[in-house]
Structure 1
Amino acid sequence: MHTDDLIRHLAQGLAPVRRVPSPWSAAASWLLLALIVLGICVAVSGFRHDLAERLMLTEERINLAAALLTGLAAAVAAFQLALPDRSGRWALLPLPFAALWLSGLGWGCLRDLAEDGTLGLGTSFGCLRFIIAFGVPLTAAMLWMTRHAGPIRPAPVAALGGLAAAATASVGLSLVHHLDAAAMVLIWHGGSIAIVTLGAWLLGPRAMRAMT
C-alpha cells in the first residue's frame, strides 16, 4: 500500500476530538450548578430563623467560609487531577481549608463545654439526609464532568468530587437548618461529608469508566 493510500485509510471515519475545558472554567460551571441546586433548596425551605444573628458571630462566618472554601478547593483539585499532566499534589489543596473548618468546630466544642458543661450532643438525621441527598447528585455531576479521568486516576478525582459536593451541601444546610452546638455540626455535617466522600471514592471509579 502506498503511503498516501495508507494515510487516507487511517483517516477514514475519524471523529473530531472535543477539547476538555480548563479546570478553572469547569470548576466554575460545576459551582454554578451547585449554587442553583442549593438556591432552589433555600427558596423552598427558607433561611433559618436566626441566620442574621448567627452571621453576626465571627466564628460562624469563619466556619461557613472555611466549609465553602473546602468545597471550592476540592472541586478545583478534582478538575486539575482529571488531566494527566497535572501534579498529584493538587489533592492537597482542600486540606488547609478543611483543617480550618474542623479546628473552628473543635474550638466551638470546647467553648460550649466551658460555658454550659455539655457538648449539646443530639441526633439530627435531617442533616445526614440533606447532605447525602444533595451531595450525591452533585457528585454525579462532578463524575460526569471528569469522566475523562477514568483511565488515569479515577479514585482521587472521585473522592475530591464527593468532598466538593458534600462540603458545598453542608454550607447550604447551615443556611436553612438550625444547629447551635458545634459538636452536633461536627458530628452530623462532618459525618455526612465523610460518607459522601468515601462513597465517591469507592464507587466513583466504576461510574466514571461506565460514562466513557
Structure 2
Amino acid sequence: MAHADWSDPTPAAGWTIAHQIAHLAAADTNVLIAVRTPEAFDAVLKRTEAAGSRHADLEAAAGAAKPRSVLLDEWRSGRAEVAAALRDLPTEHGFPWYGSQLTATLMAPLRLMEVWAHGQDVFDAVCAARRPTDRLRQIATLGVIGRELSFHAAELPLTTEPFRVELAGSDGRTWTWGPADAEQRVEGGALDFCLRVTRRRYPAETDLTAVGGDAQAWLDNARVFL
C-alpha cells in the first residue's frame, strides 16, 4: 500500500482506498467513545440515525478528504488506542454499541474482522495477494456465530437443526464447529469462508460446498454484519 494511489477505486462502489482507511479510523474513534465515555455514545447513535443509509458514505468521504499522511497517522494511532483500551477493560465489562452491549472479548475479533475485510478491498484494488494467517480462525468463528444473523437478514426462518463447519485452516489443520454427525454441512478453505462471510466474495467465487438445503441457504446469505 506504500506505493498505491489512495484515490484508486476499490470494490466498494464509490469508495477509494482513502475511503476504506477513513472508515476504519472513524470506527476506531467510535469504539473509543463507547469504551471511555459510554454516556456520550448516544450522540454517535443519533448522528448515525440522522444520516440514515448514507452515514457510512458521508463519514468515509469526510475522512478521505484529509491529507494522506494525516489520515494514515489517525488510523494508526486510533488502532493502537483501541487495542490498549480493550486490553485494560475487565473481560466481561459491557459498553454500548449499535443496538447492543458488547465486551472487549467480542469487540477485539470484530475489529480484527473489519480491518481484515476492508483491507481485502484495498488488496483487491491494487491487485495484490495477501498471506492468510491463523488469525483467520477468529473471523471464521464470527462467521459461524453469525449464522442466525444471516438467516435474519435474508428474512428466512431459522432452523434448529445442527450445522457442521469444516474448514482447511492456514495452519494445515482442519478447523471444525458443530457436531460431526450434523446433516447440514459447510466445507472448504478457511480463507474462502472468511471472504464469504465478510461479503467479499460470492459463493461461486469460493471453494466452499454446502450439504443440505439449510446449509446452502446459509452459504448463499452468509454475513457477519448487517
> What is the TM-score with the length of structure 2 in the denominator?
0.29
Question: Going by fraction, where is strand more abundant, 1 or 2?
Answer: 2
Q: Considering Cα pairs closer than 8 Å and 6+ residues apart, tell me whether 1 or 2 has the greater RCO.
A: 1
**Larger helix proportion, structure 1 or 2?**
1
Structure label with greater radius of gyration: 1
